[in-house]
Amino acid sequence: MRAFLGLGSNLGDRRAFLAGAIARLPDVSAVSPVYETDPVGGPPGQGAYLNCVVELLTDRTPRELLAAAQAAEAAANRERLERWGPRTLDVDVLLVGHESVNDPDLVVPHPRMWTRGFVLVPLGDLAPELVIGHLTSDLARGIRPAGTI
């Protein structure tokens, strides 16, 4: 089945953290272009993020993909000091086929993905049929192309 993970980094060598995560994730079939965005929420004074979305062709469960995401974050020395604070790497499970999960530590589809341009723009590069009707010009404002991984 198709699954999508969102990746972001705003500390250190952001591009290297994204590339390292992509190399560690299982079953990657496609990677969106990279976009630079201003932080959404969190403490003031954070640096800009690099964001992308990866598509997986996988038979792994949402919980298995969460474990892979957390392992990639740990490999990037991710520290969870404050909600929406700066980070070396953030990997979110966005969609896993048509599966739905609503647990305290995992919600799939990701509950805020439809309101985040930094998710919808790169997701639209890989699966435009999924973002039709969700991506507005307001959400896309401030999303700057930043090349590829």
Active-site hit among 2, 15, 60, 92 = 92
Q: Annotated catalytic, 90?
A: yes
CA nearest to 131, candidates 142, 144, 145, 117: 117
Q: CA 20: distance to chain centroid?
A: 14
Active-site hit among 78, 125, 141, 144 = 78
Q: Annotated catalytic, 138?
A: no
Tell me how many helices (H) and strands (E) the chain has. Answer: 5, 8
Q: Annotated catalytic, 87?
A: yes
Active-site hit among 87, 103, 112, 125 = 87
C-alpha 5/C-alpha 7 separation (Å) is 7
Q: Annotated catalytic, 78?
A: yes
Q: Spell out where 19-104 has E strands.
A: 28-31, 35-37, 49-57, 90-96, 101-103
Active-site hit among 24, 27, 80, 90 = 90
What are the catalytic residues? 78, 87, 90, 92
